[in-house]
A and B are shown apart, each in its own frame.
Chain A
Amino acid sequence: MRRRTFLMFSAATAAGAMWDVAVEHGAPGKELVRFIPETKLIPGVTVWRPSVCAQCAAGCGLSVRVVEGDAEVVRKGQSGLIKVGLAKKLEGNPGHPVNRGKLCARGQAGLQVTYNPDRLSHPLRRTGPRGSGQYAEVGWEEALGELHARLGPLASPSATSSLAFLTPPLRGQRRALIENFLSGFDGSALVSFEFFDDRVLREANRLSFGRAQLPTFDLAQSNVVLSFGADFLGTWNSPVAQSLSYGTMRQGRSGVRGKFVQVEPRISQTGASSDEWIPARPGTEGELALGIAHVLMSEHLRPAAAAGSAGRWIAGWSDGLPEYRPEAVAWKTSVAPETIRGLARQLATHSPAVAIVGGAPLAQTNGLFTALAVNALNALLGSVGKPGGLQFTPQLGSIGPAAPAKSKSNAANLSGNIQTLAQQIRTGKPKPVGALLIYQANPVFAAPPDWQVKEALVKVPFIASFGSFTDETSSLADLILPDHSYLESWVDDLPESGAAEAVLSLAPPALEPLHHTRATPDVLLDLAHRLGGPVAKALPWKTYEAMLQDAYTPLRHLPGSVSAASDDEFWSKVKDQGGWWSAGPVPETKPTAARGRSQPVKNQEPEFDGPAQDFPFHFLPFPSQQFGDGRHANLPWLQEMPDLLSTAMWGSWVEIHPGTAQRLGIAEGDLVEVSSPHGVLRAPAVLSPGIAPDVVAMPVGQGHERYGRYASGRGANPMAILGTKTEPETGALAWAATRVSVRRIGKGELCLFSVGPLEWGAKQLKR
């Protein structure tokens, strides 16, 4: 009775909701036809379908709850209602080795990517001036025809200008497809761009451990975790996998509770969970790591040789790091010598212990040194490749269609970064860029202003974008050919970290496409076919599905999660499982040798952009818990998800130490102006006890000029005032190396979830 009543209530309400939709459209002159359903789903019955999360690079497996429902669609120019499978919720794929059924906030909000009201539903052609955002709808044939016409001349061997393809770092067959596509264009460049790109750490790991790869941490068995700036429970690397093992580290083992110490100048979401917070001076994290290593060696807790080859990149390692006595390190890092000694002893005596480095410490001019120092410390602690330490997820290197042998001409291909692309566009060398294809990356939003990315991009004669949204970069496009959302697409990914086994995340579309969009891989295959010649030869597949099948079916012969008698059975099982993961050793990409370097890395003092007397504060942009690097700012659930520490919603803010704020006459919520040598921004102030007095911090992600109704014109973009200092060895942007000044402007507006006091403990009130 109870249940029936309940179901009746919900059914009635759901029907009511549908009825509202119907009535709204049932208005005279707006009659909606009902199309014949394209999918067979039992009404009211949930189907869980696998998919792969594309919200960040972790490559978590998804379980999509699909229920039949009415969607308003356009078919052959006629709008109407159709019964389709609708995604109702995203959960983690319980069998997936990276996230094991769990999913973070950003991953779950991915549902609002597919159903975003600002998603582009048709191909668009620019009608106004570039960047004006004025577009007219065009048909797919017309759009593809235009793209073909524009790219055709570039594909000919005699082309005088080249093609560039701008993407975020891609993996799996998507990357292979684009590489193969570009192989047919002489002098073409695959430019990958991501703001928080971990390039420095990959290089350090390549040097220290022979793996240019992000590490996987076995926190579940660690007794002490020492993290240098890594937001590993929030946004960095594979946060869900790391949170899973973190939970076990804390309370998942009987009698053992792992300890966690975080070193960073501002308490991050991850730092908030730490037992001890050490606000070392920005840029001195490497020194601190070596100070600890010094104590380990000088107190004979570990022999220098234990570090193996990882130690040889640090000058003075084999001598016991005489320059890094705790007193000396303390002076630079402002961490007390006793703290350093205490940390060293804890790490040594409570093994397994592991050190993690990531995020801001590596975004300094001495980032590579810092990474190598922490790597050496890990090696010294004996935590590399051991339970409770760090390891590397095996990579399925030999899988997939090999890129065609590089021709002579495309040996000059740039697999570059956004600076080299901008340089090439400006100078026209080695070849002018004749056309630019943009797939998801948004450097106009996320690159420092002095790189002049926008100024460069507008000079490209032809830009096409495959994005689902118009953002700051894709709004420069002449032609937009919107992609399916990832729930509507074939998705594949090869997670770089987060699991002990080799992992392929792969899934067929979980949903019918809602809009008049096409999957970009299929568009590229189609285009390759139209272009003919070497492009067509490099991409012989009709569909992306066929390409994926060809690439991944050989996994059947490896020990893994799927046993099948035939390729077809294997394929269908992989599709059902949402991927494949190894159950034994797999042939890996050959570890890249530490080539190109034989000398230790010198410890340079960190350099900062802006003189300290004019710009007294370190400026720390941090990936926000809601928006990561800003790509999720158009999702209303995340906009309204309160920030853990500030509880701010729907905006951005500047975090300042209360003492500093008092000195500057700034109160909570005041509008402050943050100036660097490169720009000025305004945002309301949040007074946070968890930040060093000489640091001001700001979340990355807001301040979009053009990114749909939920993100546009909201908050400020910290990238807009960043300097262009780089880590010299890798060329990575030192995004934490800018200095700023702060002053009060007036009263500001903060949208806070909690306006209560900072502390809820029963503080005795003065009566």
Chain B
Amino acid sequence: MAVAAVGLLTPGFLTQISIFSILTAAAFTGCVAIGMTFITLGGNVVSFSLGVTLSATTIIFTASLPFGLFAAIFAALAFSAAVMAAQGWLVGYLGANPIIVSLAALSIITGAGTWITGGQGVYPTGSGGEILSGTIGYLPVPVMVCVGLMLVGQLIVTRTSFGRRLIMVGSNRKAAEIVGARPASTTVGAYLLSGVATGVAAILISARYRSGDFELGNGYDYAAISALLVGGNAIQGGAGSPLRAVVGALGIATIQSLLVLWGLSTQLQYLVVGVAVLLAIVLQAAGER
């Protein structure tokens, strides 16, 4: 609310340019944050491997563009879903520590990726990615896709039996097992969905910036965690939603943009964002009591 009010008073904020660039930036983080929400909601804290999965997926997408857009999208989503689902299997079926598993995946994907690409860039050949970076009507495609993903995610969490099971597992794993919520396969499902959401972000980013690159996913883990927490999802699991995650991402992007509009120096921008996130978290905690 406060952010919106300040925004209205800032010249330039209400322009189409400004709003679209906020929305676009929030869309990428939003997708990853939606993915992170599934992991957190199911009681597996956070994953540090979403960013690197995103990077690897941009390469898969770019490399398979010559086979056509749909093939590339399919390959990218299948890859990121598989990478995350494998981690979900270790966590869900074997009870491995989710954080260590994600760090292991981070290392292995980085190593394998460097090995396979030989540190060489991957360039899109042929076209097809353009429609993903354009606009439909007025809205940029990434924004529409992110909103769509959020709606689907929200639907899954609130309206499907899988979503209900996921919340049960995150809230009390043992009790969930007793009533037949199948914690192991539910966990795999949650990781798989997080992989899909991350894959969507990867496709949008690599289509928009026309490259597949191991640096593209840098920083998304922290950005997603921040969005999650600012949106008010419970880090211990069992409560939260994709909607909240996206609202968090949007809030952070808005603050960042306002600071550029005010012409604050880079260093002050960082400080103010930090303080704003802290305030958002504190105010929210105070509000919930």
Do the two shown chains form a genuine complex with each other? no
Interface residues of A (CB under 8 A from B): none
B interface, CB within 8 angstroms of A: none
